[in-house]
Amino acid sequence: MFLLKTTAVLLKRNVLELPHLQGTNIINIEHLRCISTLPITKNLVLMSKEKKKAPIKSLKLSPDQNRPLVVMPTWLMAKEKHIKKYANFYLDYGFDVLNISVTPWQLLWPVKGTQVVAKDILKFLQINKSYSPLVVHGFSVGAYLWAEVLVRLAAERSLYQPIIDRISGQIFDSAADITELVIGVPIAVFPSNKVMQNALRSYLLYHMKKFDKVATSHYVRASQMYHTNLIRVPALIFCSEKDPIGAVRSNQRARENWESNGTKVYWKCWDDSAHVGHFQKHPKEYLDTLRNYLDKLDLLANRDKIQIKI
């Protein structure tokens, strides 16, 4: 009981919140490339090869961007150095990347957490209409966050139809469904502490039973929207037989549901890679699959020139 209370206090106090950048920074990275990062909100950070400007208290960028954008909701507790490996791929092809993170607390209390972030995502996309086309590349619980976006899109379809029309691709890596929440979150938060993993797992089971109206019911609704998926552009799914968090069975169910509504689904499943570890384990195959998918959708510029060093 003490461990359960301690875990709940840590989450409530946001001790586990991810750090976010302040101001616009230029970060030097390999190959003499650089990334300009612009925090939009505490959860949204824009990554680009060019410096960006945003007026205070406004999500509007100046000038208009007129380039493709990747909407990238990442996995829980994702480190910046790992996110940059994916961002670099897109930046080299002329995309900007909207990196989106959520904290454990925001995940546990969706009404005041993930749903607020989902609203900010749509507000940013709505205000910055010149970002087109859009590609969604979600990881792990980032797929759930995107599902909260889908809930809002469905609820106000007429308002957000222009955003839907700009989406040309959707990629999901190790997507974690609601059924895997109690498995994945403890490992992400306490990767090396089995005692705290078990404590958090027990708390999550309690949390989902106790707070159905303000938490669990929202997870279920988002999961339903993810599997229904009103975005009908071709999709790419990465998963692994070894991954208990982004389980093959739930990803396969999503694939079948999407295909039944007419969505073309490309599927890449490995036998041996860990959760959100497909790129690390199979870098060349991962990038080739991603590149071929985007190429089929005619979303890559300078496709013959770019050679990513792994």
Q: Name the residue with higher pLDDT: 20 or 209.
A: 209
Beta bridge partners of 44: 100
3-state secondary structure 128-145: CCCEEEEEEEEECHHHHH
Q: How far apart are the C-alpha atoms of 298 and 97, rounded to whole Å?
A: 18
Question: Would you place residue 10 in the very low, low, confident or very high pLDDT band (cuts 50, 70, 90)?
Answer: low
- Is pLDDT at 21 greater than 70 in this prediction? no
Average pLDDT over residues 165-179: 93
Whether 67 contacts 96, CB under 8 Å: yes
- Is pLDDT at 20 greater than 60 in this prediction? no
pLDDT digits (tens, 9 = 90+) for 125-137: 999 999 999 999 9
Percent of the chain with pLDDT over 70: 86
pLDDT digits (tens, 9 = 90+) for 24-70: 443 333 443 578 899 999 999 999 998 887 776 788 898 888 999 99
Percent of the chain with pLDDT over 90: 68
pLDDT digits (tens, 9 = 90+) for 64-110: 889 999 999 999 989 888 999 999 999 999 999 999 999 999 999 99
Domains of the chain in sequence order: 21-184+214-296 (3.40.50.1820)
- How much is the pLDDT for 301? 72
Helices 141-155 and 217-228, axial angle in degrees (round to 10): 80
* Mean pLDDT, the chain, integer: 87
61 exposure class (CB count in 10 Å sphere: 0-12, 13-18, 19+) = buried
